[in-house]
Structure 1
């Protein structure tokens, strides 16, 4: 029988060994999934056994944030490790856009390719649909999926958008120029099958997979495997995403690379509350997608890497999708691009379950488009006066409601004791507000605010650049 000391040394040595190897990395990125939409974060009305397992065998990140709480900017933050405004992506691209993520930016896929990784993406891109902006031009060896959101098609409930047909693509080839509802029911399955196949094909080779699901962004479509399996359509969708996670975890075990693979599960922003019962839940948070409150920016996140990430642990440190690029770069032993500002932080100590001497990320800036709406440092969040949209009332069954407008005055919230942002403490802690105001001014100088240009912004990609 091993003594406790020997057990501890054995664990530490195996952890160090796995941390020194170049791990495979899989990032599962849901679309519009709310903070409380999965079991480990409090979901009700349906079960997510595979995500429950992932949390039990890995680590929950309870204070994990996106770059901006809408699709394209959020994805640019994940891909580049930067605030979206820094890389010229303040808002969503559309099927009529002639711009995209600048090919001069260095994506997380391009980072790991420098270390010999095979790279693949299966799902929604939404960072430019012209050939020079597509995933295969941004570091991915393979791509199968949609160029933008699954509601950007002729079946959108609001005819004023007049969207063109939505294509299904593989690389730069259009497989289906106009997908239909009967096609959308298969998206989660198709993406999952492609992911499992890539794992099996590359089990003896370091790989990076980016799996940005189309769901649970409206319109909601579940396959026959899950349609009607829960009391709600939304529950069916989350259950099928949970199935997808299970298929991936099983494939890692079956191929013997479970302990060589970091799996990250998270979302691009909070739920689209305008759609009522076809939108998700923010749980204790305030508001949702499109706002700069926690319900828009804070998303569920689970990371699993058996033998390296301590099982069943919670991480309450301030973290963000921007942090994944520098973290993965370090794990792949690749230097970050020289002379290029990267806003993400290397959070390996948190992943390894260590207690860093100081916070790896102290601040977060909450932008809405080009406008700075809030500043975070530690538990404190200063919200600037602004008007924002809320459902009033929300829609139902796939039909959106109408937005109402509300205004918030300058407010100071302490998120550790008031995660719902309900108690304005501005009058009680003026010195804290002044400190955050100073940070806000630094953000304006660096990134800009409204019509004010920041000194360190880079342009989006344009055709013919």
Structure 2
């Protein structure tokens, strides 16, 4: 028989084990989530996607160690709409203001709108953004010398360290949680996209001040020897140094990880490369042999490697889901004379695809797209069709939320490499024009406008006739089957109108 003392010991050990088990359950840490989002990186700019003339070992590490999607799409062929879709899970064509925004545009996302960071915040995540925003700030006229609101912090981010728009647009300052970082109140900022401020030099009036020549309208205020879009006065102590921007955002991203390593976090690390102006740090100048565009892609790859090292050093890499992608396809000559075309050599930023940024052809929206989770996602190549817009519903499910939107499909098993059943249908967008992906097919309706953009020398996908392509058999989109396959065209047009509506133009 067991004595009373022995029973007490057994009972005590059992209770202690139960308490330890409960404590373990309570302290279980949810996986962190990081979205690494590049700017104008093309399908063919990454080694794992076929690049041979450009080395991207850290991007390749993610692609080869996770799920590399061959049919991964941004919603749009330009930056603001894609970012809007990523964060809201909503087609940008549903919002008439979702287009490339000036630096003074009001906030595009409504403060009462469902967003990815809001969902994750409700699930116990600390949420942060570091890098490019380009979704508008404030409600109209912005006083940059006061806290700028609403902005990222009002649509779900606990922490934000951003640039307002793009590197080629004013204001050329960093904004931390709504306040311009390093601003001297005695030197207030003024910004305008309509007219210059008296006495302020522009690229047209003072070409001798330039260290980078402009083309196609990048000829307004000069900051750091670089002509910008828009006019700006004051705030000199807060001006960024373009060559240091990649390092600066990297340090902020690393600091965010270290500051929040003891709680689940979501970091949207929105890198600025390889958008113009391409200003690699001196460490990377000339390293690619492809000119500044190649150099800044190598710089971005290095930054990703350093960021991954930080996750590893903080023992977080095996508890962090990483999504890597780009906001749209590639562009070479886009506002500055940086020899991107002349030094291209054998490199093909668009890979086997047709078109590029601004285009309804595949290279406009089909982009590098990778999900990586060390030890949890098995390496594979997936042909499933996915869109960045689907991350909202999928990451909601990942964290235990059932929230979703009309347009965001829940594809968590696909992103985790457990299923090949991706989207069946997807509307893509380029400067307000839309087209339909359905299975292996792409249908582009007739659109007026030039076939090729004179400014950037990219085929836009415009034609007076319907275009129909079987992408499985013709990934380069050389054979328009609209006339030879009228039944398929009719089917595609019907599906397109069911989603987009009759008045799609």
Structure 1 residues 89 and 255: CA distance shift in structure 2, 3 A: same
Structure 1 residues 418 and 21: CA distance shift in structure 2, 3 A: farther
Shift of 1:200: 1.9
For the pair 1:294 / 2:362, whether they are aligned, the reply is: yes
- Measured in 2, the distance between the counterparts of 1:71 and 1:42 equals 24
Secondary structure in 1 matching 2:477:
coil
What is aligned with 2:207?
Answer: none
What runs of 5+ residues in structure 1 fail to find an aligned partner? 1-16, 154-164, 395-399, 451-465
What is aligned with 1:79?
Answer: 87
**Are 2:356 and 2:458, in contact at CA under 8 Å, matched by a contact in 1?**
no
**Are 2:357 and 2:458, in contact at CA under 8 Å, matched by a contact in 1?**
no
More off after superposition, 231-240 vs 86-95: 86-95
- Residue 293 (structure 2) aligned to one of 227, 234, 244: 234
Shift of 1:408: 5.3
- Residue 247 (structure 2) aligned to one of 185, 189, 205: 189
Based on CA coordinates, which of the two structures has the bigger radius of gyration?
2
- Measured in 1, the distance between the counterparts of 2:38 and 2:451 equals 22
- Residue 360 (structure 1) aligned to one of 396, 402, 422: 422
Shift of 1:402: 10
What is aligned with 1:350?
Answer: 414
**Are 2:444 and 2:461, in contact at CA under 8 Å, matched by a contact in 1?**
no
Secondary structure in 2 matching 1:250:
helix
- Measured in 2, the distance between the counterparts of 1:149 and 1:390 equals 27
Alignment of 1:320-399 (within 5 A): 320-336=387-403, 341-355=405-419, 359-372=421-434, 374-389=435-450
- Measured in 2, the distance between the counterparts of 1:52 and 1:60 equals 10
**Are 1:287 and 1:390, in contact at CA under 8 Å, matched by a contact in 2?**
no
- Measured in 1, the distance between the counterparts of 2:426 and 2:461 equals 25
TM-score, normalization by structure 2: 0.75
Secondary structure in 1 matching 2:241:
helix
Number of corresponding residues: 408
Shift of 1:87: 4.0
What is aligned with 2:321?
Answer: 262
Structure 1 residues 440 and 281: CA distance shift in structure 2, 3 A: same
- Measured in 2, the distance between the counterparts of 1:117 and 1:402 equals 41
Please report the RMSD computed on the Cα atoms of aligned residues, expressed in angstroms.
2.5
- Measured in 1, the distance between the counterparts of 2:86 and 2:245 equals 22
- Measured in 1, the distance between the counterparts of 2:243 and 2:268 equals 20
Shift of 1:208: 0.3
TM-score, normalization by structure 1: 0.82
Secondary structure in 1 matching 2:268:
strand
**Are 2:360 and 2:460, in contact at CA under 8 Å, matched by a contact in 1?**
no
Alignment of 1:78-227 (within 5 A): 78-130=86-138, 131-153=148-170, 165-175=171-181, 180=224, 183-227=241-285
- Measured in 2, the distance between the counterparts of 1:272 and 1:96 equals 24
- Residue 419 (structure 1) aligned to one of 475, 481, 487: 475
Q: Deviating runs (4+, > 4 A) in structure 1?
A: 176-179, 388-394, 400-406
For the pair 1:65 / 2:69, whether they are aligned, the reply is: no
Shift of 1:88: 4.3
**Are 1:291 and 1:389, in contact at CA under 8 Å, matched by a contact in 2?**
no
- Measured in 2, the distance between the counterparts of 1:366 and 1:281 equals 20
- Measured in 1, the distance between the counterparts of 2:485 and 2:48 equals 34
Shift of 1:151: 1.0
For the pair 1:407 / 2:407, whether they are aligned, the reply is: no
